[in-house]
Structure 1
Amino acid sequence: MSALSLILGLVAVAAPAVVWFLLLRRVRGGARRFTAALAAAALGALAFVPAALLEGLLMRWAGLDRHARAMDVATLVYAILVAAPIEQALKVAAVTPLVRTRKLAAPIDGILYASTAALGFVTAHNAVFLWGRALPSVDMVRVLMAVPGHVAFAAAWGYALGRDRRHRIGGRWFNATWLAATLFNGVYDHLVYARAPIAMLGALPILVAVGGIALSAAQDLLRRDQLPSDPRVRRLLSSIAPPSIGAVRAALRRTERPVTLTWIVFGALVTTGVLTAMLVGSVALGHYLGIDFAAVDRAEANTQAMVPLALIGGAALLAFPVAGYLVARASATRSVLEPAIAAALAIVGSLVLLGLAAPIAVVFAIAFAPIAFGLACAGAWMGMTR
C-alpha cells in the first residue's frame, strides 16, 4: 500500500467524522453532550468488530462475496435480510449504554447519539474496506457516499427514541422506524458497495429521501428540546429542511369526508397506467433518438448506461406527480391521504411484479420508491381542493 493511498484513505475515512464533530461543537449542551457523542462514536466503531466477524463467518459458510460487483440475487438477499439487521441491531446496542445511564437529557439527543454511533460504525467499516486498495479510485466515492446514508438511517430510529418521553428501545414507533431503516440501509449498502459504479446513482434517491426525513425529524425534536441549540444551527435546519413532520401529518390527516376505497383503487390503477405510459413513451423516445438501451446490461459500459437509465428513471418518477395530481383533481379531495395510499399500492404492485420478472431490479425500485411516493404526494397536494 503506497503512501499516497494511505493518506487518501485516511482523509476519506476521517474527514466525515471530523466535520461531524466540528458541527456538534456548535450545539449547546456543554462538555457532557460532546463527551457522550464521542462515547457513542467509539461504541459504534467497536460494534463493527462483532458485525465484521459474524458477517464474515456467514459469508464463508454461504459461499458469498458481499463486494463481488455482480448481479447476484443471493448477495442482495444476504445484504437486506442478514447484514443490514445485524449492523442496525449493533448500532442500537452501541447507543444502549447511553440510554441506560440517562445521557439522553433532551429529545434531540436521540438523533444525535444514534447518528454518531452510526458514524463510528461506518467509519470503522470504511477503514477496513479501503485497507490495501490502490487509491485514488471509485472506492473513495463509495465510502464518502456511505457515511451520510448510515447517519441518516440511524437518525430515523433515533428520532423515535428521542420522541419517547421514557426513551425506550422498543415499542411500536421505534420498531417500525428500525425496520424501515434496516430495509433501506441494506439496499443502500448493496448499491454503494456491491455494484458497479453506475449503480451508485440508484442510491441517490434513497439518500435524498432519508436525508430530508432526518432533517425534518431533527427540526421537530429541536422544537421539543429544553436545551436549545445554537441559533445558527436552528436557522440552518429551518432553511434546508423539507416540510416539518407536523405539516406532513396535517396533509395526510383525514378530512370531514371519509376515505373512499373506490378512489384509492381508482388512483392505484391511474398511477399504474400513467407509469406504464411514461415508460413506454421513454423507450419510444430513446429508440427515436438512437439511445442504446442494451448498454445497461454491459458491465463495462458504465458511461453509456447513464443515458438510458436517466431517461427511464426520469420518466418513471415523472409519472407519480402527474398521477397524484390527476387523482386529487378527480376525487376533489381535501387531503393527500387517498392519492398517497393509491401511490403506495401502485409502488407495492410494481415491486411484486418486478420481483417475479426481474428480482435484481427490485433493489433499484426500492431505491426510487421513497422519492416516487413523495412526488405523488406533492402532485396530489397541488391538485387537491382547498
Structure 2
Amino acid sequence: MSAISWLLWGLTVVAPAAAWLAVLRRERPARTQFSVGLFAALLGAVAFVPAVLLEEILLRWAGLDRYARTADVATLVYALLVAAPLEQGLKVAAVAPLVRTRKVVEPIDGVVYASTAALGFVTVHNAVYLWGRALPSVDIARALLALPAHVAFATAWGFTLGRDRRRRIGGRWFNVAWLGAALFNGVFDHLVFARRPVAMLAALPILLCAGVIALVAVQSLLRQGEAISDARVSRLLTSMTPPSIGAVREALRRTERPVTLRWIVFGALVTTGVLTACLAGAVALGHRVGIDFAAVDRAEAQVAAMVPLVFIGGAAMSAFPIAGYLVARASATRSVLEPAISAALAIVGSLVLLGLAAPVAVVFAIAFAPVAFGLACVGSWMGMSR
C-alpha cells in the first residue's frame, strides 16, 4: 500500500471510530460510564472475528463470493438468512455481558452500548475489507456507508433493551426489532458490497430511514430518562427535535370511527393502480426523451445506469403520497391508520409479485419500502379530515 492508501485507510477506518469515542467521552464524562462504552466497542470488535471465520467457512462450502458484484439469488439468500443474522447475533452477544452485569442502568444505555458495539464490529470489518485494496476507490464509499448503517441497525434492538424495565435480552419487541435489524442489515450489505456501485443508490433510503428511526429512538429514551432521574441530557441531541414515538403513535391511533375493511382494500387497490400508472408514465416519458433503460443491465455503463434508476425510482416514490392523499380524501378518515395499512398491503403485494417475477429485484423493493410507507403516511396526513 502506498502512503496515500495508508492515509485514506486510516481516515476511513480510524477517524470515524475516534470521533465516536470522543463524543461518547463528552456525553458520558463519568470514568466508569466511558470505560463501559469502550469495553462495548472492544467486545464488538472481537465479535467480528468469529463472524468472519464462520462466514468464510460457509462461503467456501457453498461456493459463493460475497463480493461477486452479480445479481445472484444464492448470494442474496446467503446475505439475508446467514450473514446478517449471524452478525446481528454476535453484536447482541457482545452487549450481553454488560446486560448481565447490570451495566445498563439508564434507558439510554441500551442504545449507547448497542451502537458502540456495532461501531467496534463495523470498524474492524472496514479495516479488513479495505486492507490491501488500491485506494482511493469506490470501496471507501462502501465502507463509509456501512459505518452509520450498522450503528443505526443496532440502535433498533438497543432501544427495546433500554425501554424494558428489566433490561433483558429477549421478549417480543426485542425479537421484532432484532429481526428487522437483521433483515435490513442483509439487504443493505448486499446492495453496498455485493452489487455494482450504482446499486449503492438504492441503499441510501435504508440509511436515511434507519438514521431517522435511531434519532427518534434516542430522543424517546432521553425523555424517559429525564422522567426517571435528573440525568444530564446531551445538548447535541436535544438540539434535534424529530417527532416523538408518542406523536407517531397518536397519528396512527384509531379514532371514534372503527377501521373499515373496505377502505383498506380499496386503498390497497388505489395504491397499486397509482403505482402502476406512475411507472407506465415514467417509462413512456423516458422513451420519449431518449432515456436508455437498458443501461441498467450493462456493467460498463455505471453513470448512464443512474439516470433510468433515478427516473423510475422517483416515479414509484411519487405514487405513494398521491395514493395516500386520494385514499384519505375518499374515506374522510381522521387518522392515517387506514391509508397506512393500505400502503403496507400494496407494498407487500408488490414484494410478492417481484419475488415471483424477479427475485433479485426484491432487495431493491425492500430498500425503498420504508420510504414508500412514510410517503404514503405523509400524503394521507395531508388529505385526512380535521
When normalised by structure 1's length, the TM-score is 0.98
Any conservation in 1 of the 2:159–2:218 contact (CA below 8 Å)? yes
Of 220, 239, 255, which aligns to 1:236? 239
SS in 1 for 2:191: helix
The root-mean-square deviation of aligned C-alpha atoms, in Å, is 1.0
- Matched residues in 2 for 1:227 and 1:173: separation? 27
1:204-247 CA-to-partner distances (Å, cap 9, x unmatched) read 00000111000000000000113634452243332xx3x21111
1:97 corresponding residue in structure 2? 97
1:102-159 CA-to-partner distances (Å, cap 9, x unmatched) read 1111000100000000000000111110111010101011101100000000000000
Any conservation in 2 of the 1:28–1:227 contact (CA below 8 Å)? no
For the pair 1:203 / 2:206, whether they are aligned, the reply is no
- Matched residues in 2 for 1:227 and 1:78: separation? 46
2:140 corresponding residue in structure 1? 140
SS in 1 for 2:277: helix
2:321 corresponding residue in structure 1? 321
1:116 corresponding residue in structure 2? 116
Identity of aligned residues (%): 73
Shift in Å at residue 194 of structure 1? 1.1
- Matched residues in 2 for 1:299 and 1:207: separation? 25
Any conservation in 2 of the 1:28–1:230 contact (CA below 8 Å)? no
Any conservation in 2 of the 1:12–1:144 contact (CA below 8 Å)? yes
- Matched residues in 1 for 2:60 and 2:71: separation? 19
1:314-363 CA-to-partner distances (Å, cap 9, x unmatched) read 00000001100110111111111110000000000000100111111111
2:221 corresponding residue in structure 1? 221
- Matched residues in 2 for 1:290 and 1:331: separation? 40
1:258-303 CA-to-partner distances (Å, cap 9, x unmatched) read 1111000000000000000000010011001000000000011110
Amino acid at match of 1:67: Y
Q: What does 1:309-348 correspond to in 2, within 5 Å?
A: 309-348=309-348
Shift in Å at residue 193 of structure 1? 1.0
> How many residues end up aligned between the 2 structures?
383
1:79-123 CA-to-partner distances (Å, cap 9, x unmatched) read 011000000000000000110111111000100000000000000
2:170 corresponding residue in structure 1? 170
- Matched residues in 2 for 1:188 and 1:74: separation? 16
- Matched residues in 2 for 1:88 and 1:361: separation? 24
Shift in Å at residue 7 of structure 1? 2.1
Unaligned runs of 5+ in 1: none
2:32 corresponding residue in structure 1? 32
1:376 corresponding residue in structure 2? 376
1:152-172 CA-to-partner distances (Å, cap 9, x unmatched) read 000000000000011110000
1:364 corresponding residue in structure 2? 364
1:5 corresponding residue in structure 2? 5
1:193 corresponding residue in structure 2? 193
Any conservation in 1 of the 2:115–2:152 contact (CA below 8 Å)? yes
Any conservation in 2 of the 1:216–1:244 contact (CA below 8 Å)? yes
Structure 1 residues 29 and 99: alpha-carbon distance in aligned structure 2, compared to 1, 3 A threshold? farther
Any conservation in 2 of the 1:28–1:228 contact (CA below 8 Å)? no
Any conservation in 1 of the 2:222–2:233 contact (CA below 8 Å)? no
- Matched residues in 2 for 1:50 and 1:341: separation? 40
Shift in Å at residue 188 of structure 1? 0.3
- Matched residues in 2 for 1:90 and 1:231: separation? 29
SS in 2 for 1:237: coil
1:66 corresponding residue in structure 2? 66
Amino acid at match of 1:262: R
